[in-house]
Chain A
Amino acid sequence: MNRLSQSNAPIYEALLEYRQKRIVPFDVPGHKQGRGNPELTDFLGRQCLSVDVNSMKPLDNLCHPVGVIRDAAGLAAGAFCASHAFFMVNGTSSAVQAMVMSTLKEGEKIILPRNVHKSVIGALILSGAHPVYVNPGLDKRLGIPLGMSAADVQKAIGENPDAKAVFLNNPTYYGICSDIQKITKLAHEAGMLVLADEAHGTHFYFGENMPLAAMRAGCDMASVSMHKTGGSLTQSSLLLLGPNVNPDHVRQTINLTQTTSGSYLLMASLDISRRSLALRGKEIFARVSSLAEYARGEINRIGGYYAFSKELVNGDNIFDFDATKLSVHTLDLGLAGIEVYDILRDDYGIQIEFGDIGNFLAIISVGDRALEIERLVSSLSEIRRLQSKDPTGMFDHEYIPPRVELPPKQAFYAAQRSVPIGESENKICGEFVMAYPPGIPILAPGERITGEILRYIAYAKEKGCFLTGTEDLKIENIKVLEA
């Protein structure tokens, strides 16, 4: 067992052995290696269904790992410079929740930027923790929220010495990194833990010339979406722990909400992807970086678009930039990012990760080839030639600081009523409103609804952003707190 190396993949190897032994299954799942569901088997393939199995002694148990899952997690911890790693099968959202819930109790404070993923605020509702928001600042030209400046974090720590943790995005959806090393040092000096959302940072651990990864910066916990840029199956993720966190306590917290039927397809995909990244990650991400760099150069040459990169770095709230992200500003063409996103999909058959008011983001990852990059660039060139408009009057917005009136949990469980969204000004919001992707809340439970926010929502809707979060699927009504 001690002889395992990064070229092993214990879960994958155990599944191969299981398949070879032709075990007769009198356990769940009921499709019995696919035989009971020929249509599904035909669709997904026999190979796939034959290893969609349940936990058993030779395959270990995700909730109580003492065998191959423990071994595979140990290898993942090694590959990601962590003291401990958990395989997560309910997305990075579950990893984020585990970080927050294992660190904070009811009423305890956490310092965080407002441009966090919805799952973070969801975890605040679950745990009852109180947010202390740091203004992430906003790039005026691009209209995107940035990282936290270390000075602002220091100030927040000074004002809230009782806070238990600092939370940060490494990087943000757009690829922007805070000074993670300095923030970690400040937090640790104040006795606080540092939690990092690295949903978009898997490659930081393997590529060269990448922004600093959380575990290397000394953070205490990090959630890593292996499925986003690491090549594993959708919904599979890793939770990493540093040396100062008790893994047994974290496991207990994870088990509060985790399925007891963890998918071996997801776990095997994590295991195989970790092996591939550990063995070949450097080359893989060198290629990804060069594809992104090439695309950026070509897109900037078209004119009208601004594919931004490290030139934004200012040593403060843009401490570093993840150059594998292909984030492109579109407002100078007279088109919203979301409009370009829609045109690319509807007219050119190209699916982009997301578009917002001023930008779109294309993910470049392990699976990309030059061929598809050329298609993207040529399509953008055509969109400029055929569809660009007068850019005056395009929405230009400021960071809207949230006015937190109540902690998220208290607001979520308070008496609420539904009102038409246009009549909700000055009320306290009882639910989430966000554009998905990126899934960063525009409003969260407990926040004051302002005219400025309502104008922003109306504009985002008009431009075709996919708004989500409210009970009302049409986003015409919103739940507010009873006065």
Chain B
Amino acid sequence: MELWYTEQHTENVRFSIKIKEQLLSAQSEFQKIDVFDSPEFGRFLTLDGLVMLTEKDEFIYHDMIVHVPMAVNPAIKNVLVIGAGDGGTARELTRYDSIRSIDLVEIDKMVVDVSMQYLPGTAGKLTDPRVRLYFEDGLKFVRSKVDEYDLIIVDSTDPFGPGEGLFTKEFYGNCHKALRENGILVNQHESPYYDSYAKSMQAAHLKIRAFFPVCSVYQAHIPTYPSGHWLFGFASKKFHPLADLRADEWNALGLYTRYYNTDLHKGCFALPTYVKKLLENQNGK
């Protein structure tokens, strides 16, 4: 007998992972949460039937969502992370001694509980004293914040389901307000490849650009996400992601990262032509 986890990447495309065993299947107030063990990717977490992270490739995503902004402004002290109940983003942030506080806002407490229990390698640093956990709606949390953060990382699910509010104009506007004058906003920016994801990506980019003078997109290869080609948004009030890169300063920290390095930093903002076109083409819309 063979057990396979299959995810519908589009209506016409499926992606399958052979399963050793299913470790958990639970329904929270917000979504269905499953944890599997697999020979190829190790343990992996899915929400509403979509892979959030696998033990084998999560380092790519978490490296790229954290170290890119940190290398542009290594002086970041106060960070807000929205979503990311799995703890991977917080784990990377806690590696910086200079960071004083990490507010992590996750709407679904069960995601944190499940990750602590089944994915300790990812969630292990959620107990760091600088990490404060808030179990509430990210949109609501950020509404009351003014000039409080140097960095906001939006590590959300896709914009259908509980993550929907994190792809809206009202959310980005409130983030702008919550950031200090040197603030940076990094968000998981969907994929350019399949149509439905590309549309979310375009819409998000357009909305962010309305608030931030600097607004770029960078990419990474994440094997278990639809098409494998994933984008992140880098928006800021002041810093340019390349012109203001502090490569020497960051390298002097001596952090070992399996995916990220400062050469890759320079390259990851270079986008394929069709992606550039997708980002430009929405001007008129």
Contact = CB atoms under 8 A, between A and B. Distances in A.
A381 interface: yes
Contact of B170 (A298, A348, A371): A348
B204 interface: no
A348 B168 CA distance: 7
B165 A375 contact: yes
Contacts of B143: 377-378, 381
A378 B170 contact: yes
A476 interface: no
Contacts of A371: 137, 162, 164-165
A298 to B, nearest CB: 8
A305 to B, nearest CB: 13
A378 B164 contact: no
Tell me which of A348, A381, A386 has the highest count of chain B C-beta atoms within 10 A of its own C-beta: A381
A75 B139 CA distance: 43
Interface stretch (B56-64, B171-179, B225-233): B171-179
A299 to B, nearest CB: 11
B95 interface: no
A298 B139 CA distance: 13
Contact of B137 (A348, A370, A382): A370
Contacts, number: 44
A106 to B, nearest CB: 55
B176 to A, nearest CB: 9
Contacts of B177: 385
Interface string A367-381: 000110011011101
A388 B143 CA distance: 17
Given A348-B168, A349-B168, A375 B139 contact: yes
Nearest to B171: A378
A137 B140 CA distance: 38
A375 B172 CA distance: 12
A381 B170 contact: yes
Nearest to B142: A378
B162 A378 contact: no
Nearest to B168: A375
Given A370-B137, A381-B143, A385-B177, A375 B170 contact: yes
A348 B169 contact: yes
A379 B174 CA distance: 9
A382 B174 contact: yes
Contacts of A349: 168-169
Tell me which of B171, B173, B174 has the highest count of chain A C-beta atoms within 10 A of its own C-beta: B173
A382 B164 contact: no
Contacts of B169: 347-349, 379, 382
Contacts of B173: 382, 385-386
Interface in A338-390: 347-349, 370-371, 374-375, 377-379, 381-382, 385-386
Contacts of A377: 140, 143
Contact of B165 (A347, A378, A381): A378
Contacts of B164: 371, 375
Contacts of A382: 169-170, 173-174
A386 B172 CA distance: 13
A92 B162 CA distance: 35
A17 B194 CA distance: 43
A146 to B, nearest CB: 33
Main secondary structure of the interface of B (DSSP, over half): helix
B281 to A, nearest CB: 20
Nearest to B161: A371
Contacts of B174: 378, 381-382
Interface string A286-319: 0000000000001000000000000000000000
Contacts of A386: 173
| Interface bin, chain B | 10 to 19
Interface string B125-157: 000000000000101100100000000000000
Nearest to B136: A374
Contacts of B168: 348-349, 375, 378-379
A386 B176 CA distance: 12
A370 B173 CA distance: 20
A371 B168 CA distance: 12
B1 to A, nearest CB: 35
Contacts of B165: 371, 374-375, 378
A385 B143 CA distance: 11
A382 B210 CA distance: 13
A360 to B, nearest CB: 16
Nearest to B164: A371
Interface in B166-224: 168-171, 173-174, 177
Contacts of B171: 378
B162 to A, nearest CB: 7
A470 B140 CA distance: 44
A184 to B, nearest CB: 43
Contacts of A374: 137, 139-140, 165
A377 B140 CA distance: 8
Contacts of A348: 168-170
Interface string A108-128: 000000000000000000000
Tell me which of B143, B164, B170, B173 has the highest count of chain A C-beta atoms within 10 A of its own C-beta: B170
A349 B137 CA distance: 19
Contacts of B140: 298, 374, 377-378
Nearest to A370: B137
A196 to B, nearest CB: 38
B143 to A, nearest CB: 5
Contacts of A379: 168-170
A348 B170 CA distance: 7
Contacts of B137: 370-371, 374
A349 B168 CA distance: 9
A298 B168 CA distance: 19
A386 B162 CA distance: 26
A347 B173 CA distance: 12
A387 to B, nearest CB: 11
Nearest to A382: B173
A381 B143 CA distance: 7
A377 B165 CA distance: 11
A379 B207 CA distance: 13
Nearest to A381: B143
Nearest to B141: A374
A371 B137 CA distance: 8
A480 B168 CA distance: 48
13 contacts: A298-B140, A370-B137, A375-B168, A375-B170, A378-B143, A378-B170, A379-B168, A379-B169, A379-B170, A382-B173, A382-B174, A385-B173, A386-B173
Given A370-B137, A374-B140, 5 more contacts: A374-B137, A375-B139, A377-B140, A382-B173, A382-B174
State the 3 A-B residue pairs at the shortest beta-carbon distance, nearest first.
Answer: A378-B170, A379-B170, A382-B173
